[in-house]
Amino acid sequence: NQYVNSSAIGRYADYLTRELVPFVDREFRTLASRDHRGCFGKSSGGYGAMLHGMKYASTWGAIADHSGDAYFDFVYWHDWPNTLNELAKYRARRQKPGRYDAPRAAKAAGRGLDDGRV
């Protein structure tokens, strides 16, 4: 996780800055100001720490980035179509509309077969 707000993982940056930091300051004996608070991370977390240092400077007084994976979206973008094509080979068959046969699906699941409802 990169500590960011995202449609994929939710509003993680908001959670950290609006909920978690105030909770920690309220529940523990902290020096509750940005001057005494830091954000750090490694790899994707390092990217998040850099981002938080820039976007949420009122929350974080210091950041540490260990091997942050900045620019990662540009590194892999050319492989994305091939990845999707490969994953499509293993996709479960689409279910036809209509009645769902639960006993039949349970028997198939007992044999280790996926019924495609994921």
Residues 84 and 58 in one domain: no
pLDDT band at 112 (very low <50, low <70, confident <90, very high): low
Specify if 87 maps to a domain.
yes
Residues 65 and 83 in one domain: no
Specify if 115 maps to a domain.
no
Distance in angstroms (rounded) separating the CA atoms of residues 30 and 115:
52
- Tell me what pLDDT residue 35 has: 96
Domain with 86, as residue range(s), is 78-110
Nearest to 69 by CA among 41, 96, 97, 89: 41
The token pair that represents 20 in the structure block: 């978690």
Q: What is the pLDDT of residues 83-100, one digit of tens each?
A: 888 888 887 777 777 777
pLDDT above 60 for 8:
yes
To the nearest whole number, what is the mean pLDDT of the chain?
83
- Tell me what pLDDT residue 73 has: 67
Between these two residues, 58 and 44, which has the higher pLDDT value? 58
- Tell me what pLDDT residue 116 has: 57
The token pair that represents 42 in the structure block: 């490694």
Query: Quick one: how far is CA 104 from the chain centroid?
Result: 36
Specify if 117 maps to a domain.
no
Residues 62 and 31 in one domain: yes
Q: Which helix (H) or strand (E) holds 110?
A: helix 102-110
- Tell me what pLDDT residue 92 has: 73
Between these two residues, 96 and 36, which has the higher pLDDT value? 36
Residues 41 and 83 in one domain: no
